[in-house]
Amino acid sequence: MKIQSFIGNTPLVELKTFDVPADVRILAKLEFFNPSGSIKDRIVSYIIDDAERRGLLKPGATIVENTSGNTGAAIAALAATRDYRAILTMPDKVSKEKQDALRAMGAQVIVCPTSAPPDTAEHYVTQARRIHAETPNSFMLNQYDNPLNAEAHFNSTGPEIWSALGRSVTAFVASGSTGGTLSGTSRFLKLKNSAVKSVLLDPVGSIYHRYFHEGVVDPAQIAPYFVEGAGEDHLAKCMDFSVVDDVIQFTDADAFDTCQHLAQREGLICGGTSGANVWGAVQVARSMTKPATIVTVLPDSGNKYISKIYNPEWLSQNGFKLGEARTLEPAP
């Protein structure tokens, strides 16, 4: 069997070392159990399968995509098994581990400045679109605006959570960049039970928090942050705010401090978005006044970030002091 056969049906584990009310549970889906190591395997296989069925992706084709690394890894892995070429653009904040893994699978990696404003020639999304336009027999997943992104989670992640927990699910909490995970999973869970709360986590420096609460996109608020794979500097069409009940901001420190907690108390070495997701799940859990089950996802493994968020020297150089974030503070 090819690696695609092992995508999905990832474990769901309960996190028990966080300070939340005794009758509130936090469960996390371990998405780094997917073959290429992240939740993005779900959408890449779904979109590629659809493109092949419709004749949009043909033998010998080149797959072009902009990525923060995990979508790229899924593309590179599947391209390697189906004789496609992969060209991937990414911002320069993406970890060296991610970049090296893509190259190891034969992908061409083009690194672009994180500071490049949206729609400029240097921006990694613009670069991908240009390469796609200039490359014959190429296909672009267009993960930020492709409705199949969310549909993949509606048809896999959501049903898996519901099958395991049913009506006990109180809230689904996740950070978002393309918005596919949160939108598709939340839409399915709300279809089964309209009372399920959907909470998006957005890093400081991203546009989604203010857009949700005020309907404003302010370019002046766009600022650099270190967490990879969360937040955005433009509105992704895949992000469906109609299924979102709240948006909570988090900081890099919130995410990275929670990553340390997960590693040292739960035995889970996870990426920055996992730390953000669990931090947010803790905040939602602390707001509950009756028994509840909060569900989130751990999108990828911390093995992709050893040189960064698990490196004391890197943390110190970038001004992070572990333990300063609010993850472990007692509930008020």
Taken in order of first residue, the domains within the chain and their CATH numbers are 3-33+153-317 (3.40.50.1100), 40-140 (3.40.50.1100)
Q: Per-residue pLDDT tens for 38-61?
A: 999 999 999 999 999 999 999 899
The pLDDT score that the predictor gives to residue 330 is 40
The pLDDT score that the predictor gives to residue 329 is 46
**Neighbour-count burial of 34, counting CB atoms closer than 10 A to its CB (0-12 exposed, 13-18 middle, 19+ buried):** buried
Q: Which two tokens stand for residue 258?
A: 């929670």
Residues in the chain: 332
Integer Cα distance of 3 and 18 in angstroms? 35
On the question of pLDDT at 300 being above 70, the answer is: yes
Bridge pairing between strands 292-298 and 24-30: parallel
Tell me which residue of 164, 214, 155, 221 sits closest to 184, measured CA to CA: 155
- In the chain, which ranges are continuous DSSP H helix? 40-53, 70-82, 96-104, 124-134, 147-155, 157-165, 180-192, 208-214, 252-265, 272-286, 312-317
Q: Per-residue pLDDT tens for 28-41?
A: 999 999 999 999 99
Tell me which residue of 306, 201, 208 sits closest to 255, measured CA to CA: 201
Integer Cα distance of 40 and 102 in angstroms? 14
The pLDDT score that the predictor gives to residue 323 is 60
On the question of pLDDT at 157 being above 60, the answer is: yes
**Catalytic center residues:** 40
Integer Cα distance of 224 and 119 in angstroms? 17
The answer to whether 197 and 170 have CB atoms below 8 angstroms apart is: yes
Backbone angles phi, psi at 192, to 5 degrees: -80, -35
Integer Cα distance of 219 and 66 in angstroms? 21
The pLDDT score that the predictor gives to residue 118 is 80
Entry pTM: 0.92
**Angle 91-230-274 (CA atoms, 0-180°, nearest 5)?**
120
The answer to whether 274 and 262 have CB atoms below 8 angstroms apart is: yes
Burial 260-298 (b: 16+ CB within 10 A, else e): bbbbeebebbbbbbbbbbbbbbbbbbbbbeeebbbbbbb
pLDDT grade, residue 115 (50/70/90)?
A: confident
On the question of pLDDT at 328 being above 70, the answer is: no
